[in-house]
Structure formats: C-alpha cells, structure tokens
Amino acid sequence: MQQWEKLLNEKKLSIEEQQRLWDFLSHYITPRRKTLFQEKIAHRTYHITVVVEDIYQERNASAVVRSAECFGVQSVHIIENHNEYKIAKGIAKGADKWVDLHIYDQKEQNNTEVCLQSLKAQGYRLVATTPHQDDCYIHELDLRYPTAFIMGGEKDGLTPTAMEMADAYVKIPIYGFTESFNLSVATAIILYESTRRLHQSDIKWQLSEELRLRKLIEWTLKSVSDANKLLARFFEEQASNAN
C-alpha cells in the first residue's frame, strides 16, 4: 500500500472534504485526463464483481482483470490457494492500475472460504460459473442483487468449497462440440452480458457520490509524480485555513 493510500484511509474524509480534495488534485492533471476520468467513473460499478480461483496461467489472470476494467467492473478478487497471481503486462495493458485488486494469499488457510465469506458479509450473492443441476443461462440470471461471479481455475474448475458456498449457478450457451470456453473468454462473455443488462435496467448499479469521488481521487494520485507531497500539501492547507 502506498503512503498516500494509508493517509487517505486514516483521514476518513467526508463527501465535502473529498470534493475539495478532488478539486485540488484535478489542477495537477491535464483537462483531457480530467474529462476522461469523469467519463469513465460514470460507468463504474461494484454491483458486479469477479472472483478468480487458483488461476495458474498469468495471461489468463491478466485477461480477466483487463476484461473487468473494460466493462467498468471496479473490483476483482484473486484467490491463491496453490497458484500465485502474476500480472502479464502485455495482456493486462495497465488495467490493474484502475481496478481494485483484492488478493487472498495467506498460507495454511482456505482462501476461497475467507474470500467468499467476506463477499457474503458485504451483501454479495455468490454465483458459480459452471454447469449445475440448478443452473441458469447468463441472460436469465437475476441481477437485482449485488453479484459476485466465481471463476474456476483452468484445469480443475471450481473447488468443492466454492460450489458449496455458491448461492446460484450460471452457464453460457454453447452450440459447438467443445464443452467449455477458455477462462478469460468466459469471463468476458459473462461481464458483457451482465453489464449490458444492468445498463438497460432500473437497478442502481452506479457508484455512490462518495465512492465516485474516492475513485477519482485515487486515479488522480496514481497519475501524478508526487502524490505523497500533493496530498500532504492539501492537508496542510486545510489545517491552515481551519485556523
């Protein structure tokens, strides 16, 4: 975690304070980048998230992150029970800079269980992406609830823990002889279909104003060369004005 991230977490800024910070920081990026950030933030969502379990090919893991970022899905959860997550720069194309990556890598614990319990506590409905007797097609899935799509590893698919903890099961229509899609392709199809339906619905899938400001601030701090100094300067000025 960067120094500026720790400081932001410690300060627990109100919406008004975050607005002032965003106004301050936006002077240090180009007008074009500021406009770009504002355009992209309007399509970001936490209503959908992606969980990937024990991916061993770094190109697949990176492609999942890239797809999530492209479709405006703000968070990705990486479970490392056996395989370590590594970013393939040529595949990710910098997508990991703009999304929230949560990596579960503690040794000697069931990281799948820890991750999924955390998501359930946050109100997510856990949807295993695998054929199952109680499954439905992706275009039939009820998206009214915050949804975490769980993707299994390339060789063995989802673990028994993931299957048991899932609240629902979803599959993609297949019309050829091959039984399944590549992991990264399957993720892209699922995210395309689910975000497409969300955008056409009356579901409140967009970020709250507070979360929008938080992401704008984080993106800006990731884009400037002296993020720690800029943030320190802002808080010094705020303290001075208060006196």
List the binding residues.
129, 172
Residue 127 to residue 168: CA distance in whole angstroms: 5
Residue 151 to residue 101: CA distance in whole angstroms: 15
CA contacts within 13 A on the Cβ side of 41:
20
- Residue pair 209/15 in contact by the 8 Å Cβ criterion: yes
Alpha-carbon distances of 163 from 67, 76, 93, 141, 174, rounded to whole Å = 23, 19, 32, 17, 21
Q: Which amino acid is at 60?
A: N
Provide the CA 153 distance to its chain's centre, in angstroms.
Answer: 18
Q: Which residues are annotated as a binding site for S-adenosyl-L-methionine?
A: 129, 172
Helices (H), the chain: 3-11, 15-25, 31-41, 58-70, 89-92, 111-121, 160-165, 183-199, 209-223, 227-242
In angstroms and rounded to an integer, the radius of gyration of the C-alpha atoms of the chain is 19
Residue 110 to residue 79: CA distance in whole angstroms: 9
> How many other CB atoms sit within 10 Å of the CB of residue 220?
22
The partner residues of 127 in beta bridges, in order of sequence, read 149, 168
